[in-house]
Chains A and B, each alone.
Chain A
Amino acid sequence: GESVGLHLPTLSVQEGDNSIINCAYSNSASDYFIWYKQESGKGPQFIIDIRSNMDKRQGQRVTVLLNKTVKHLSLQIAATQPGDSAVYFCAETGGSYNTDKLIFGTGTRLQVFP
């Protein structure tokens, strides 16, 4: 079946540096992707999303890049801050464009040190 996974389980970055969190997906027909941030003891928080007809989308300090050729999704965080420390995971629709049945990755923990 389809799978969504992350290359790195833990990413440590220095405050002020840029962070890049990666996600691979296996279903080439997937058409919608989301990044969530989950802080300790809290529920997942929506960060940014992108549809498959786009390659890049920017938000406030965050950018999502979609490379459909290699089925790869990345989240870039500019000027990483201590408050960015959390687990980040991606989700996809698995090719059905059914946003009721998202497939979630396992997550990457981002640690920000001074």
Chain B
Amino acid sequence: DADVTQTPRNRITKTGKRIMLECSQTKGHDRMYWYRQDPGLGLQLIYYSFDVKDINKGEISDGYSVSRQAQAKFSLSLESAIPNQTALYFCATRGRDADTQYFGPGTRLTVL
């Protein structure tokens, strides 16, 4: 969905490096989410945010941190990347009065 953008789309980095993945949305949604997707597994929730001042851990938050800089921007950071964080990362948004989450195009991260 072009209303949710993610940068970069692909990134290769080395173990120990700090990485930031960015997500922006023009849907005007309050809620934003970060997921990772691994082969053979369903999407797993890393962090989610209801608004700029409300950040919540998901099921796999260890090794990750997030920043909600504005309603439209939600960044995911890997402070010290490790190889098992190699995955596809998706950002999603949801309106306050709706149930459906809308996803961005994803970032493919490879940690060597």
Chain A interface (Cβ within 8 Å of chain B)?
4, 32, 34, 36, 41-46, 49, 89, 91, 99-107
Contacts and interface: CB of A to CB of B under 8 A. Distances in A.
Interface of B: 1, 4, 31, 33, 40-45, 48, 56, 58-59, 90, 92, 94, 99-106
Q: Would you list the 3 A-B pairs with minimal beta carbon distance, nearest first?
A: A104-B42, A43-B103, A104-B43
B90 A4 contact: no
Contact of A43 (B41, B45, B90): B90
Contacts of B94: 99-100
18 contacts: A4-B42, A32-B99, A34-B99, A41-B105, A43-B4, A43-B90, A43-B105, A45-B1, A46-B101, A46-B102, A49-B100, A91-B42, A99-B99, A99-B101, A100-B31, A100-B33, A100-B48, A104-B42
A10 to B, nearest CB: 13
